Amino acid sequence: MKKVGFLILILIAVSCTSSKKEQANHINVKQAVEAKKGMVATAHPLASEVGAQILRDGGNAFDAAVGIQFALAVVYPRAGNIAGGGFAVYRKTNGESGSLDFREKAPLAATYNMYLDENQNVIPKLSSFGVLSTGVPGSVDGMIELHKKLGSLPFEKLIQPAIDLAENGFALTENEAKKLNDYQKDFLKANDSSTYFFNDGKWQTGEKIILPELAQTLKLIRDQGRNGFYTGETAQAMLGEIHSNNGIITQADFDAYQSVWRKPIEGKYKQYNIISMPPPSSGGIALLQLLKGSEQFEFSKFGHNSLESIHLMTELERRVYADRATYLGDSDFYDVPVDMLLDSAYLSNRFSDILLDKKTDSKDIKEGNVDIIESIETTHFSIVDKNQNAIGITTTLNGNFGSKVFVENAGFFLNNEMDDFSAKPGIPNQFGLVGAEANAIVPEKRMLSSMTPTILEKDGNLFMVVGSPGGATIITAVYQNILNVVEYGMDMQQAVNASKTHHQWLPDLILYEKYGLDSLVLNQLQEMGHKMEPRSAIGKMDAVLVLPNGTLQGGADTRGDDTAVGVH
């Protein structure tokens, strides 16, 4: 694998980032990548090449997923992680499917009102910045469990490329240099001393970063498995950082953490079978609600991003997100009414008051008040191997660089996932999402998520692997990506490139990508009463489509460093 490590370091020299012109003209700026023997699509070219090389070396899709997860922890520190968590949805060659929940958990010492002041008001940023915002991490346990159940190559072979990248160094892309520069003040504010990622805002494209402490941590995981992270020197480094800043996670939390294999959420959309993530992700339920609602309308006739299609998607979304706020939480602690939420009669009634020519006010659907929608940084990758084993993983630290707290002696950032709980039911989190008692803080409970790794089957065969970062916008981005292929006949890259919109019940407005809507459609939506707000991006898709002849088609978002690599 040393040869692989050398090759992937060279790859970055020829990788390129999207130009401003491409960002402004997002549609049709890139061709889909096609291959017969495997496809990998991730947020970073080095991670994609790690996964592709594992497939070339005889590994399966699940081996590649483990290698990519650890590689992203090195080269994509804003969201790639070993101290975060996530969800995986898989499908084996024989059609067997499943999902793995390696979402973070609330610490044993967490309390219902831990982010409230004496007047029961939410203390700003306490749940999103610093060590008190950190949940018990799940990524390392998740990857070990994934490999144990589905892997074929030795674990040490899969983690070695990430070790090579951390030990030998890697060159910053333009996007990553800019992102690091944007967060320099936060790094200083959250840490007692400067981190390896502090450079006074002067990081340059192509500049090399070496992470010897992270390399050592990865070696401990390689040699000791789970114990290399949750016990010993790595655990002590984390706990030292946490306790020095009044955090509440203890060794007992690390000892108690376990990822969980869960039965996926499954349902039909026309002739397609949808396999997605169950609670504590809201993604699978919300996605199926949206798709089942879409069956009531002829989207293919309306056309992509037409007045009718955007209006109807918005009306469906506002009702689904209101349900999310009311009913969704960790099913290990709360009886999520899954059957009711996906019941045809319930959904028919839920969507019955949608009008083709009139906007619904969100306050008429459910009472609430939210004034903000902020961005979130997650990352998703999709993999299909030569035998059409498939896996989609969405993983995150939550916000960019998580809590911003860097474990200096171990080389990685801690998550800020506690913000995904309802700090106070009815009050929005940093991303404008409202939660109810179903998502209230309880020790060892997993916080609600919007992550939506999803696999589609058509006529019993693998059809698509899809997912996205984007916090609240993940669900709507995945939903539109599916419509783009199924209803509008786009190929995988066109579907990824196509401009997207988003509505999440509250605040009562439609987000839309700049330059993505026809000015006439924009004006017509406003005349109907919709409030419109432009955004630079909604979702960043990395997806794989299986063509009728078995060819694999990869699509990767052109606005970042996202890269699809095929195995020929």
- Helix 283-294 / helix 307-327 crossing angle, nearest 10 deg: 140
Query: Which one of 378, 395, 454, 563 is the catalytic residue?
Result: 378
Strand pairing report for 454-458 and 33-35: unpaired
Using alpha carbons only, what angle is made at residue 342 by residues 95 and 543, rounded to the nearest 5 degrees? 45
φ, ψ for residue 225 (rounded to 5)?
65, -140
CA dist., res. 485 & res. 207, Å (int):
39
What dihedral angle (degrees, nearest 10) is formed by the CA atoms of 176, 180, 181, 186?
160
Pairing, β 461-466 against β 542-546: antiparallel
Residue 326 and residue 438 in contact, taking contact as beta carbons nearer than 8 Å: yes
3-state SS string over 96-124?
CEEEEECCCECCCCCCCCCCECCCCCECC
Active site residue 378: yes
Say what angle helices 155-168 and 2-14 make with each other, to 10 degrees: 50
State the DSSP H helix or E strand holding residue 397, giving kind and residue range, or none if neither. strand 390-398
Starting at the edge strand found earlier in the chain, the sheet holding 33-35 runs 33-35, 552-556, 542-546, 461-466, 454-458, 272-276, 265-269
> The tokens of 100 are what?
């793995």
Q: Catalytic positions, please?
A: 378
